[in-house]
Homo-oligomer: A and B are copies of this chain.
Amino acid sequence: MKGLSVGVDVGGTFSKIGLVAPDGELLRCVSIPTQPRAAPRDFASRVCAVLDGWRYDSLGLGLAGGVDAATGALLFAPNLKRWIGFPFKREFARRLKVRTVADNDANVAVWGGYAVDLKKKPRCVVGVTLGTGVGGGLIIDGKLHHGATGSAGELGHLTVRAGGAPCNCGKRGCLEAYAGTRGICRIARRVMRRPPSPLTPKALADAALAGVPGARKVWDEYGTWLGIGLANAVLLLNPDAILVLGGVARAGRLVLDPVRRVFAAQPFREPFARLALSAPAERDWGCVGAALLSREASS
């Protein structure tokens, strides 16, 4: 088939390798352990082994960390520390002889949602990825915005309550300290008499839908914090749309309803009045976005 692309979503534990059609359909997807303690060249070899026999025109990599677009090297990467500096883009381009791009994993996921779900119609979009951590990506004037050092979109570490809850990054009061997995679990332990065990966002969503006392209150509080963080991004950038992605976004209205309430209560109405807020159905947005992004590249 013509015009297929491969997307590789490289996470700290698992990596997904997907074959993606031009319309964003994921035709095939293989998951492999990342093994971040092994050499990055070994990782490249294992990915190339998976791709043996696949037919595609370009390849995109989404890497969990800050990425230098020219070489595809990680600049910082809390979960892939040993791979910092390795030129992933060049390595894959050399081995596979196809057009290759590399970008941050949240950026490629947001690009996927932007291209497929929003069909690239809005010009300015803020994307947030909700998982263990809170990541983000920005579309400005129809393009991914990388910033001066490729680290734009760090939504999770915006301070929303200076001096507040401790965050994994070392600061206090970051959005992620409230809207990351650790944050929602902390809220659940405070609010619920009997929080589910094991305590996960999925278990909390099931509990809320089953009417377990307190569970909905947990989501209301979680979504309120998320709304405060997203409102900061809206006040700064005044986007046309917000995309909510990532595993926790599957909770759907449990997350979006309190965000909408925060938006409706903003005194500055203009930037919120026609803002589109959506959590598109879960896909491997990282794979899809990385693949589609590689189609955009000029060389």
Contact = CB atoms under 8 A, between A and B. Distances in A.
Contacts of A123: 148
Interface of A: 66, 75-76, 122-124, 136, 138, 140-141, 145-155, 157-164, 169-171, 173, 225, 228, 231-233, 235-240, 266-271, 273-275
22 contacts: A75-B270, A124-B148, A136-B236, A141-B141, A146-B238, A147-B237, A148-B239, A149-B238, A149-B270, A150-B238, A153-B238, A154-B236, A154-B238, A155-B236, A158-B158, A158-B235, A159-B232, A161-B161, A162-B228, A169-B268, A171-B266, A237-B237
Identical chains in the assembly: 2
B149 A273 contact: yes
A138 B152 CA distance: 14
Given A170-B267, A267-B169, A237 B145 contact: yes
In the A-B complex, the 3 residue pairs with the closest CB atoms: A147-B238, A152-B238, A154-B235
Contacts of A147: 124, 237-239, 271
Contacts of A153: 236, 238
Contacts of A160: 159-160, 162
Contact of A238 (B76, B148, B161, B164): B148
Given A75-B270, A152-B237, A159-B231, 9 more contacts: A76-B269, A123-B148, A148-B271, A148-B275, A155-B235, A157-B267, A158-B232, A171-B266, A232-B236
Given A145-B140, A160-B162, A270-B66, A151 B238 contact: yes
Contacts of A138: 236-237
